[in-house]
Amino acid sequence: MIKPVGSETLNPLFVYDTDAHHKLMHEAESLPSVIISSQAAGNAVMMGAGYFNPLKGFMNLADAAGAAEKLTLTDGSFFPVPVLCLLDNIDAISGASRIALRDPNMEGNPVLAVMDVEAIEEVSDEQMAQMTQQVYRTDDSNHPGVNTFNNQGRFAISGPIQVLHFSYFQDDFPDTFRTAVEIRNEITEHGWKKVVAFQTRNPMHLAHEELCHMAMDRLECDGLVIHMLLGKLKKGDIPAPVRDASIRKMVELYFPPNSAMITGYGFDMLYAGPREAVLHAYFRQNMGATYFIVGRDHAGVGDYYGAFDAQSVFEEMVPKGALDIEIFMADHTAYSKKLNKVVMMREAPDHSKEDFVLLSGTKVREMLGKGIAPPKEFSRPEVAQILMDYYQSLDS
């Protein structure tokens, strides 16, 4: 199986030993504590689950700046985005060398992790602006990722962590949430040798389904990991339980047995386009995938990124040898009326736009809300029914 990034074996930061876990939970109750942001909580979950291997904890400002500027930390190791724990108030932990980080997303704010504090640094507006521009390629506060990143606070608290909980993800999505450790184990149990991963924050329509089949066929893969984001999204995106149900129905009906795993990870979407595509590849390697599909406007939002910026970034910014996972670069896929099948649009040069079945997201949502199923060339009827039920429930 493919090695994790930066180490021979995966080193998740979750404390699995029962006695050590119990001891740490008891200690945490007497430590100074702080409720962290949702983005920082997602970072902690990803470190606990092994996706951010080999990170040992939250970055200091120098490492965060290096990741933002050139995808390289001060020790020369590779990481594509800053992994910060930003606070707006440090009164409760001032002077403390060991603290408890509390979950903002669960009732009672349970302890998520214990941290050994190495530094508390104030981030200047200039430093924040520079990191924002480098990661998101914009400073527009209307960009949902920019807005979230800049509204967590200006104190960066750094140091190694020991993770004690996977937030609400394990409780709310017991059949879907998987750590990188668990996915590697499941790949081994399936007996898969070549595995392609597909990232989604949306339900999968026919074009997505066929793209996965194309990738599996062309790369001669014996397994597909559909890996959905379970954390916070922007307003208007479809909730994770609805996405989960629709994807499960699609796999049940349209994929051969033992060919696809449906999994999810606990992280809030950044909407950082090209930079987030690299991050997505990073933690797909850590979970054991050999290939990763990157399509048109991957992880983008609005008109902030070019259609294929998330593909060219791998050539333009990722240091040679930093990642072993290979990228399957896909074009927009759509149903061809001429060929009576889903194709990559670049592979049909004799087609005009009118030769494809193309529907905007707005149009699809409008149809589903009215109880009108999109055409079978766009969406499987069983998937459309789940989505229609959801949209109609919003109006009831």
317 vs 96: CA distance, rounded Å: 38
Which residue among the candidates 11, 109, 147, 202 is catalytic per the annotation? 202
Q: 97 with 74: CB under 8 angstroms?
A: no
User: Taking phi first (over 0 means left), then psi (-120 to 50 degrees means alpha), and beta for anything else, what does residue 237 get?
Assistant: beta
Above pLDDT 70, what percent of the chain? 100
With 80 as the cut, is the pLDDT of residue 94 above it? Answer: yes
pLDDT at 231 over 90: no
Contact indicator for 64, 70 with CB cutoff of 8 Å: no
Cα angle vertex 299, ends 360, 210, to 5°?
60
**For the chain, which domains are there?**
18-167 (3.10.400.10), 175-265+271-395 (3.40.50.620)
Q: Which of 65, 71, 68, 62 is nearest to 6 (CA)?
A: 71
Does 201 score more than 90 pLDDT? no
- Whether the bond into 54 is cis, omega within 30 of 0: yes
Question: Contact 20/89 with Cβ under 8 angstroms?
Answer: no
pLDDT, position 232:
80
**pLDDT at res. 362:** 82
| Mean pLDDT over each residue of the chain, to the nearest integer | 95
Contacts of 248 (CB under 8 A, 6+ apart): 262
pLDDT digits (tens, 9 = 90+) for 329-350: 999 999 999 999 999 999 999 9
Q: Residue 222 half-sphere exposure, CB side, CA atoms within 13 Å?
A: 9
Q: How confident is the model over 314-338, as a mean pLDDT?
A: 96
Give the separation between CA 137 and CA 146, rounded to whole angstroms: 10
Better-predicted residue by pLDDT, 235 or 350: 350
The string of pLDDT tens digits covering residues 141-168 is 999 999 999 999 999 999 999 999 999 9
Element (H, E) at 57: strand 57-58
Q: Is 102 a catalytic residue?
A: no
- In the predicted structure, residue 235 carries a pLDDT above the cut 90: no
Say yes or no to pLDDT of 236 above 90: no
Please indicate whether residue 201 is annotated as part of the active site. Answer: yes
| pLDDT band, residue 85 (cuts 50/70/90) | very high
> What is the per-residue pLDDT across 14-39, written as a single tens digit (0 to 9) for each?
999 999 999 999 999 999 999 999 99
Nearest-angstrom CA–CA distance, 20 and 22: 6
**pLDDT, tens only, 249-288:** 999 999 999 999 999 999 999 999 999 999 999 999 999 9
Tell me the per-residue pLDDT of 29-83, one tens digit each, with 9 for 90 and over. 999 999 999 999 999 999 999 999 999 999 999 999 999 999 999 999 999 999 9
In this prediction, residue 396 carries a pLDDT of: 62
pTM metric for this prediction: 0.94
The β-bridge partners of 229 are 265
Inter-CA distances, 94 with 36, 91, 141, 272, Å? 15, 5, 30, 32
Amino acid at 28: A
From 154, 201, 248, 365, the catalytic residue: 201
**SS3 state of residue 191:** coil
CA angle 227, 233, 236 (to 5 degrees): 115
